[in-house]
Amino acid sequence: MGVLIILILGFIIGVVFVNVSKTGSVRPIIITTIIGLIIGVVFSAIRIVPAGYVGIVDFFGRVSPRPLYSGLNFVNPFAKVVNLSIRTQEGMEIMPVPSKEGLTINLDVSILYKLDPSKAVDLYKTVGPNYRDIVVTPQFRAAARGVTVAYEAKALYTSEREMLAQAIFDSLSSMIKDRGIVLERALLRGMTLPSTVSQAIEQKLKAEQEAERMKFILQRETQEAQRKRVEAEGIRDAQTIINQSLTSQYLQYLWINTLNQNPNVIYVATEANMPMFRAINPDEENLRKRQISPQK
């Protein structure tokens, strides 16, 4: 196309030159036409492939086995160059998928993928430039439905969510890798269940969490009972040791120590020479010390 445009421009320039010079000769027309043709051929042989793309050279149905990489390339001026992106692309789908219980779930999932440059020519030959709609999207949907049918709906609410995304990744990757498409990641972004089903799942999960909480409480109470049992055994052993070592000398020591701490305590000796202690009420002591007035 570029060659034809420059050729026409060269022809027009030659015609204008002849009309202006009024020589009547067709030689300038031929010269400018040839120059335009040469310039058009040269410029048409130069193809620029943008960054992040590979170029596929298609010369009237014959595809070059070597792709063109980003930058300046020289090709047959009459060949067509089709640019295919090798950048990471995102495929997003919101699709109804079945669960293990037979429920229909609206799944919001994305994939990140890119084209392998070394297999771009084969993909162009066998599929074409519209490989996303022909290969990626249909197999993406099939892989998602094939995986979710083995999982219960509650898996999307729990830690099995990542396992489900990984299963979709593994299934789809095995489907498209032979086509030269590299799958980078599968992302499970969200899901929607019927309201009655989601409420039932939430109630079940809540009951499971309550059961786990009660199990924790029971374990804590068991440990507390064990602690009290150990404490009681310690008190019992301490009392046994004290009873074995309780002598008159020890009681006298306690008596002396008590006198030092409280001056309102008196000592009463017994026949067995065992000390006994009695605290004196201060009011009673004052009454005792009060003088008795003489009777008239």
Bigger pLDDT: 158 vs 69: 69
**With contact defined as beta carbons under 8 Å apart, do 111 and 172 qualify?**
yes
Mean pLDDT of the chain: 77
Query: With bands split at pLDDT 50, 70 and 90, how would you rate the model's confidence at 296?
Result: very low
Distance of CA 218 to the CA centre of its chain: 34
Is the pLDDT at 295 greater than 50? The verdict is no
The mean per-residue pLDDT over the stretch 1-25 comes to 55
Bigger pLDDT: 236 vs 243: 236
Predicted pLDDT of residue 171: 92
For residue 235, give Cα distances in angstroms to 127, 230, 232, 240: 86, 9, 5, 9
Cα end-to-end span (Å), the chain: 152
Kind and range of the H or E element at 171?
helix 160-176
**With contact defined as beta carbons under 8 Å apart, do 14 and 33 qualify?**
yes
Bigger pLDDT: 82 vs 38: 82
144: nearest Cα among 90, 204, 188: 188
Q: Considering only CA atoms, give the Rg of the chain.
A: 49
Residues 82-128: tens digit of each pLDDT:
999 999 999 998 888 888 877 788 888 999 999 999 999 999 999 99
Kind and range of the H or E element at 111?
strand 104-115
Is the pLDDT at 203 greater than 70? The verdict is yes
Predicted pLDDT of residue 292: 46
Residues 129-164: tens digit of each pLDDT:
999 999 999 999 999 988 888 887 767 666 677 888
Residues 247-293: tens digit of each pLDDT:
676 667 776 776 666 656 555 555 555 555 555 555 555 555 454 44
The mean per-residue pLDDT over the stretch 201-223 comes to 84
**With contact defined as beta carbons under 8 Å apart, do 129 and 84 qualify?**
yes
Bigger pLDDT: 201 vs 177: 177
The mean per-residue pLDDT over the stretch 193-220 comes to 79
